Amino acid sequence: MQINRNFRLNYKRETTMKTKTFIEADFPIKAVSANSVREKNIRHGHISTLHIWWARRPLAASRASIYAALTPMPKDEEERLKKAQFIADLSQWENSLNERTISRAREEILKANGGKPPKVLDSFAGGGAIPLEALRLGCETYVGELNPVAVLILKATLEYPQKFGRPVKKKVKSEIGMEQEVEVNPLLEAVKKWGEWVLEEAKKEIGQFYPKDEDGAIPVGYYWLKTIPCQNPTCGCQIPLTANFWLAKKENKKIALKLIADKEKREIHFKIVDNPDFDPSKGTVSRAKVVCPVCDSGIDDKTVRKLFQEGKSGQRMVAVVLHYPDKTGKTYRIATERDMKVFKSAEAYLEKKRKKLFEKWGFDPVPDEPLPPKETLGFRVQRYGILKWGDLFNARQKLALICFVEKVRLAYKKMIEQGYEAGYAKAVVSYLGLMLSRSIPFFSVLTRWEPMRETPANVFGRQALPMMWDFTDINPFSGATGGIKQNLNWILNVLSHFSQIPPVESRKEEK
């Protein structure tokens, strides 16, 4: 059966019922559509927070459509209205784990299928929304996929929580020392344990490259601007490129970088100002066209791209974003020579680490494969000399990422040494891999600073890799947006949700 061209649902109905299904007669489109739209703002536990997948279907529409496709049409108007209301309720996110609602839907599907769970096949399962909802509604669910990213998402969504994430009884000691029995999710506990192990082991090795300030302030990130040389022969200054100078742009908090051009020395300096008396929305570059703040000469977009392609561009750390543990909000300061010295030491350590891992693994830990051709839709960075995947990261970002990859690989090795069954260890490490994959869009020279929220912005604000003139080199250990700890928590929330989906009845009987 095909329900619109984007929804493929094949199922075997082992029943003699010849009446039409509900979806062939009616469907509460308005209510389900509203819940599907609202779902975009749902975060904790939602499948979309496991891993990005551009073509993922709304869970609300998937759940409602599957139920309506597997239950019979109403006998009369009264039943139609009641069933339409039930479908509207079923599609609400709050009811996705509501035992009473889900049990009723399962029972009605079983009854319509002669008491046996229908077999549902999604042959192009993608991000897993449709099979997840089929599983939630008690169907024997089968999926097919060729894309390896989709396969990993599907295993983490459909297979591992059902296979390893069932609650078990565990004896623990209470605060007063008495032993009591509690239910725990072994898979959830293992992912949490080893995720924190990876974080701590990486921090021991590279935490030195994200040092606290002398007053205890923790760096959240380092704000950089790409640069190009002015083409005026009498000037030649390094022009910092940015579309705007905002650091914080909230109703009650406005902070910006103020560019100070020393026309005699042909130098550019910055200072941080509160409530700026100038317009920070006017930067030095617009649509790849640049104006030099020292001599006011312009550089056209073709020349700008050429300078990047010829390797004549650079990067300049201009500010540091800070957080004080005993205060709310973020503060800012101008980057110092000490900050650059720390970065240079990370750069030197990267070369040693990269060589060591190359000898150990037999391949370069920094991806050196070429990006798609510059004509590829959505890729625009090749025109600026970014030609390999590794070019998307600066030295400290590369160091952080290869270090975390190494620790995840070590975690798997340690699990096996400690007696973990290989399939179980693979499941745990798969979620750790997804934790890193969620973090990578925040560790890039295309990761811009979002002044409206005062956080780094995910590279994939849209389905493309556009050029960014400024970027944020975040501290993976700060606990802020994009950091490893936060992304581990996202994974744990989703895994917790998946593990609460009841098993399919027929499979439970087989056990």
Task: Find, among 428, 471, 487, 358, the residue nearest to 191 by Cα.
Answer: 428
Q: 184: which strand partners? A: 168
Task: Find, among 140, 122, 141, the residue nearest to 56 by Cα.
Answer: 122
Q: Give the three-class secondary structure for 484.
A: helix
The bridge status of strand 119-122 relative to strand 140-143 is: parallel
Those residues whose C-beta lies under 8 Å from the C-beta of residue 130, and which sit 6 or more positions away, are: 7, 8, 9, 57, 62, 66, 122
Mean pLDDT by 10 residues, the chain (511 residues): 39 51 92 93 88 91 96 91 95 95 96 93 93 96 94 96 87 68 88 97 97 95 97 94 96 96 93 95 94 95 96 96 92 97 98 97 95 84 94 97 98 97 97 96 95 93 89 93 93 94 62 38
Report the distance separating Cα 86 and Cα 96, nearest Å.
13
Report the distance separating Cα 15 and Cα 177, nearest Å.
56
Report the distance separating Cα 266 and Cα 230, nearest Å.
10
> Which helix (H) or strand (E) segment is 429 a member of?
helix 422-439
SS3 of 283-322: the string is: CCEECCEEECCCCCCEECHHHHHHHHHCCCCEEEEEEEEE
Backbone angles phi, psi at 148, to 5 degrees: -65, -30
Those residues whose C-beta lies under 8 Å from the C-beta of residue 144, and which sit 6 or more positions away, are: 121, 122, 123, 124, 125
The pLDDT value recorded for residue 102 is: 96
pTM: 0.90
Distance of CA 213 to the CA centre of its chain: 29
Q: In what order do the strands lie in the sheet with 285-286?
A: 285-286, 289-291, 298-299
Please calculate the CA angle 373-379-380 and round it to the nearest 5 degrees: 100
Report the distance separating Cα 130 and Cα 141, nearest Å.
10
The pLDDT value recorded for residue 377 is: 83
Q: 171: which strand partners? A: 181
Name residue, tokens 């998307």.
Answer: 392
Report the distance separating Cα 223 and Cα 132, nearest Å.
40
Backbone angles phi, psi at 168, to 5 degrees: -130, 155
The bridge status of strand 119-122 relative to strand 238-241 is: unpaired
Output b/e per residue, 348-362; b: 16+ Cβ within 10 A. Answer: ebbeebbeebeeeee
Q: Could you tell me if 474 and 220 are in contact, meaning their C-beta atoms sit under 8 angstroms apart?
A: yes
Round the CA-based radius of gyration of the chain to a whole number and report it: 27
Report the distance separating Cα 308 and Cα 391, nearest Å.
12
The pLDDT value recorded for residue 505 is: 63
Structure tokens that stand for 15 in this block: 């029943």
Packing angle, helices 395-417 and 186-206, rounded to 10: 130
